[in-house]
Amino acid sequence: MQRKFAWIGAALLTLTLTACDDKTESAPAPAPPSPSSSSPVSPTAPPSSSESPTPTPATKDNGPDSSKEGGIARYTKYLHAVGAQDLDVVCEIAGPAAKKAEKDGFGPCKSTMTMMFGMISAKQKEALRTATIDTAAVKTVSATQIQIPAKAVKASVKFAENELGTQTLKFEGGDWFIYDM
């Protein structure tokens, strides 16, 4: 069952992310301070460089940060949004990956993510809402790209590589986005 979740979850995450990219093409509006944001955000393209300095991350971070730590904070926000089933945040952060998945035949982000949410247990969702990332386990690929393996996710439930996979995030257009799942 876990393997099924991992494969389907990864596929759905990818599909969801792809679908999220089709919603809007404009620069995202700053998210409210909670991960259950209901304001629409651009899932298709990263925000333009003309984005205001107000943060998209809903943490104490001072807005988009191009450092490795900024990418980790952004991925943490994504995990918390998955746990909270916040489609707007999930599809916004994973927009570029979702776009790729949609091109591969997966449906819109919000549809596929809704299906994926149904495959995650309540215990796993709860764990994701408070998950943190072990910075030492994050690989810096370049100044604007990092990879976060499942083993870096620290939560009350252990997640295997076949469940979360290794996520590639890129800093582009003023913020971090998931590009590869």
- β-bridge mates for residue 139, sequence order: 147
Q: Determine contact, residues 120/5, Cβ cutoff 8 Å.
A: yes
Please report whether residue 46 resides in a domain. no
Question: Does residue 169 come out as left (phi exceeding 0), alpha (psi in the -120 to 50 range) or beta?
Answer: beta
Kindly state the average pLDDT of the residues 16-36. Answer: 35
Q: Are strands 139-142 and 145-148 parallel, antiparallel or unpaired?
A: antiparallel
Domain of residue 105 covers: 2-29+62-180
Return d(Cα 48, Cα 180) in angstroms, integer.
Answer: 20
pLDDT tens by residue, 56-115: 333 344 557 889 999 999 999 999 999 999 999 999 999 888 888 888 888 888 888 888
Please report whether residue 159 resides in a domain. yes
- The yes-or-no verdict on residue 35 having pLDDT over 60 is no
Kindly state the average pLDDT of the residues 102-130. Answer: 90
Q: Are strands 145-148 and 175-180 parallel, antiparallel or unpaired?
A: unpaired
Please report whether residue 57 resides in a domain. no
Please report whether residue 19 resides in a domain. yes
54 three-state secondary structure: coil
Please report whether residue 42 resides in a domain. no
- The yes-or-no verdict on residue 121 having pLDDT over 90 is yes
Lowest mean pLDDT among 92-106, 113-127, 139-153, 157-171: 92-106
- Which letter does DSSP use for residue 152 in this model? G
Which residue in 15, 23, 42, 45 sits closest to 31, CA to CA? 42
